Amino acid sequence: MDRVIRIGTRGSKLAVAQTETVADKIRATGAEVEIVTVTTPGDVSSKPIPQIGVGVFTSALREALLRKEIDVIVHSYKDLPTAPAAGIVLAAVPPREDPRDALIARDGLTLGELPPGSKVGTGAPRRTSQLLALGLGLEIVPIRGNIDTRMRKVTDGELDAVVLARAGLARIGLVGAITETLDPIQMLPAPAQGALAVECRAEDVDVEHLLASSLDDEGTRAAVTAERSLLAALEAGCSAPVGALAEIVEDLDSEGAVVERISLRGTAAVEGENGAVDMLRASALADFAEAEQLGRTLAAELLDLGAGALLSGPAQ
């Protein structure tokens, strides 16, 4: 590569940390890399995400990419809208971090140890509905802001606990604060949680190849494709009460040879009786090459169960 590759990132500690890991991998190929910080409306406003609009964090970066102010974007994959962006390709999906959600509670408590009435902070309808559906009598308090701000609410005693993505905490060196990593049986992560999406301009073929060869992980791409296809087929976005987790598992084919397949679990929150929250759940297995179809199949099953009437807005 005979030019400097400019990677755009949001200014948050998490965004910068994940951009630096990607930058290091690209530098290892011998290419020269520069990191450019782009401020997005989502960083400036403190309103709840559903009010600012989906994709607030990504649009500003994508506009800068198309204006050629930057050449590469590193996104938290789960924050991307499901609709494709014109002129932009997903050049690489690097190996995923642990996709699970994590609890950070006072006094080292786990979810089951929090007494009824405990205040748990989260701004995500998906986390809110799954927490409420556990029937623990928790009081969900809407919060947002970066990871440090959310954690401080527990240290300050304003909240008993917060729920955050384990991957984000790991990337900024804070896994030590986790008091429980939540089992996906209790809390299915957001589609693509823990994964990164590395984009470039569609016409920038040299950069696309460099990113694909130095960063892409086939297994992560397949898993995330299945999860996001489920989300898209439910016509839901990144702030929907939808959880999904795909895992690559070993299975035997009809001749007894070991093959890799994709196992997908999904959940969607709908309004139950008397304003209660019902979590619909379903699972399915498919061949490795059928990720996209697997997501659609599972979405169809959830729709059959009643997922057409997803809880809307922050499910408080």
Ligand X SMILES: NCc1[nH]cc(CCC(=O)O)c1CC(=O)O
Among residues 2, 24, 79, 304, the one annotated as catalytic is: 79
- Contact (Cβ atoms closer than 8 angstroms) between residue 62 and residue 73: yes
Distance CA(112)–CA(223), nearest Å, equals 30
Smallest gap from residue 96 Cβ to ligand X (A): 8
Smallest gap from residue 315 Cβ to ligand X (A): 16
Distance CA(131)–CA(49), nearest Å, equals 19
Among 78, 126, 261, 265, binds ligand X (CB under 6 A): 78
Smallest gap from residue 18 Cβ to ligand X (A): 7
Distance CA(260)–CA(79), nearest Å, equals 28
Distance CA(57)–CA(63), nearest Å, equals 11
Select the span of 40-48, 160-168, 249-257, 300-308 touching ligand X (CB under 6 A): 160-168
Q: Encoding tokens for residue 3?
A: 């030019």
Does the protein bind ligand X through residue 130 (CB under 6 A)?
Answer: no
3-state secondary structure of 204: coil
Specify whether 79 is catalytic. Answer: yes
Does the protein bind ligand X through residue 167 (CB under 6 A)?
Answer: yes
Select the span of 3-11, 165-173, 247-255, 293-301 touching ligand X (CB under 6 A): 165-173
Does the protein bind ligand X through residue 193 (CB under 6 A)?
Answer: yes
| Count, residues in the chain | 316
Does the protein bind ligand X through residue 232 (CB under 6 A)?
Answer: no
- Contact (Cβ atoms closer than 8 angstroms) between residue 310 and residue 234: yes
Which residues here bind ligand X, judged by CB under 6 A? Answer: 76, 78-79, 164-165, 167-168, 193-194
Active site residue ranges:
79
